Amino acid sequence: VDLNLMKPNQTLSGLTANIISSIDKYFLEYQPDIVLVQGDTTTVMGVSLVAFYHKIKVGHVEAGLRTHKKFSPFPEEINRVLTSRIADLHFAPTSISKQNLLDEGIAESDISITGNTVIDALFLATKKVEEINPKVPGLENYELKNLEPYVLITGHRRENFGDGFINICEAIAELADKYEDHNFIYPVHLNPNVQDPVKKLLSGKKNIHLLEPQTYLPFISLMMNSKIILTDSGGVQEEAPSLGKPVLVMRENTERPEAVTAGTVKLVGTNKNTIINEVSKLIDSKEEYEKMANAVNPYGDGLASQRIRKILKEN
């Protein structure tokens, strides 16, 4: 169901109100037995709340992720905490996620460690990409192999709006000047708070490629062929390590500490010099690069959806 909710410069309060009123009509018409929500978006929180109002059981996929910082990420941390209070079944990706839920008083009988369906989808997608070699919108005239080596960049977090994104863009611009033999590929989020600093500071450089937001398969192709990934995304922290890609996360903390512990992910924040130094280290040092690229991904084996299906049948 496409609720067609996204509007330019929409407030979170307005978005939440639209989600609640729109999904309420859908539940009245279809009356599902259970609602599955995935992740920590405002849609997840809003839909869970409406399901609760209708006394519909809720299953939460990717349950138990926490930074324990109310405004980081914003608003996702509170979205997932509220969803956990509503959910009846909690599908935690890791033992750390399960422990977070237990610490909040969730009954152990309601929690299952399943891995993350993100990895299931990734394994299916990589096979598809290898079969069809999808074109990347904005790079139709290139073979990705001919752009290698390249750094793939994504950024959209609200807590980075303003000075954070200016610092990120200044760091990317300096890296592009420093490493003229590398390309920097950035699918730019449509939010004006992202678009404005990115276009102002990064347009016109020959080795920086600013793209429109990508659909799933082209983005997976971009990840598969990249050398390093610089991101503030949560999902990419799980996907990229399965592809053997070092991930530098432009945030001060993460709800995915397993990846940091495993060595697949490093937090670099939004300090310009830190970003430059950490990217440079991976480009200049084969040892540093391989240490991150060869670390083991802790987020699943591609069978999470099968485990979740089995639990749903039993409930």
Catalytic residues: 40, 62, 76, 156, 158, 189
- Burial of residue 266 (CB within 10 Å: 0-12, 13-18, 19+) is middle
Distance linking the first and last C-alpha atoms of the chain = 25
Q: Which two tokens stand for residue 152?
A: 């793939």
Angle at the Cα of 198 from the Cα atoms of 271 and 202, rounded to 5 degrees: 90
- 285 within 8 A of 265, measured Cβ to Cβ: no
Q: How far apart are CA 265 and CA 30, in angstroms?
A: 42
Alpha helices in 87-189 (DSSP H): 95-103, 117-132, 144-147, 163-178
Q: Quickly count: other Cβ atoms within 10 Å of residue 306's Cβ.
A: 13
CB 119 within 8 A of CB 304: yes
